[in-house]
Amino acid sequence: MTLKGKIVKYVTIMMGILKVDLFKVNHLGLDLIEYLLLMKLHGLNNNLNYPVFYKLLDVEKSYYDCLVDKGYLKKELFDKYVLTSKANELFDVGDTKFEEFYEMYPQKVPDGIGGFRPVSTNDPNSKSAGKTRDLFRKITEGNATLADEIISGLKIELDHRNASGSMQYLPNIDSWLNGHNWEKWIDMGSEKSGDNIKNNIKKI
């Protein structure tokens, strides 16, 4: 069975476990297999909990050499390949994405009885914010595409709740992340506005 056949067979069993922004991949001059190979190497180097189908991703040496030519891998002694800084940057979510998310999330919302209740802290360096940061990192695990989707989902929800006067139902920030709330709002935003939020995101 070909590599493509193996992946397709696995994907039919584990549908939806990984999302890849194909527009981004093509813009980087990579094909899907090259991108998944880089993601596999990054995940192994950083002990990330990436999908099990990486066990099936046993590609020919020519893929590695091609990624060397493109500047994503460096070949060392004994045919050992290591990621370059260019490759690591592809999967580095970093603090910028979290800070964008945290700044966007409201600090307090109406409680429905004339007052307000807190849903996040105003200090991104607080102990509470630190726990949220760790949760954000655990969920995204180096997947910048997912981090962008989380931020997009939050924006859609906030726009909807502001327009409908339902901000009081927004959960606290950790519950929002643990509940993967962005997934529902990404879907709703696509259905209602007809925009292109998910057009370039392929679930495999």
* Chain mean pLDDT for the chain: 80
CATH number for region 3-90 = 1.10.10
Q: Record the tokens describing residue 188, joined without a space.
A: 């709703």
pLDDT of residue 6: 42
Q: Higher pLDDT residue, 58 or 86?
A: 86
Task: Report how far apart, in Å, the C-alpha atoms of 49 and of each of 53, 58, 185 are.
Answer: 11, 18, 25
- pLDDT tens, position by position, 91-150: 777 678 899 999 999 999 999 899 999 999 988 788 999 999 999 988 887 777 788 899
pLDDT of residue 77: 87
Average pLDDT over residues 73-89: 89
Identify which of 127, 112, 52, 42 has the alpha carbon closest to the alpha carbon of residue 83.
42
Q: CB of 119 within 8 A of CB of 108?
A: yes
Looking at the chain, the whole-number percentage of residues with pLDDT higher than 90 is: 44
Q: Record the tokens describing residue 86, joined without a space.
A: 């260019």
Note the residue count of the chain.
204
Is residue 86 scored above 50 in pLDDT? yes
- Cα 81 to Cα 64: distance, rounded to the nearest angstrom: 7
Q: Where in the chain is the domain with CATH 1.10.10?
A: 3-90
* Best mean pLDDT range from 39-43, 80-84, 145-149: 80-84
Task: Report how far apart, in Å, the C-alpha atoms of 159 and of each of 94, 103, 104, 120, 202 are.
Answer: 26, 15, 11, 18, 25
pLDDT band at 173 (very low <50, low <70, confident <90, very high): very high
Looking at the chain, the whole-number percentage of residues with pLDDT higher than 70 is: 77
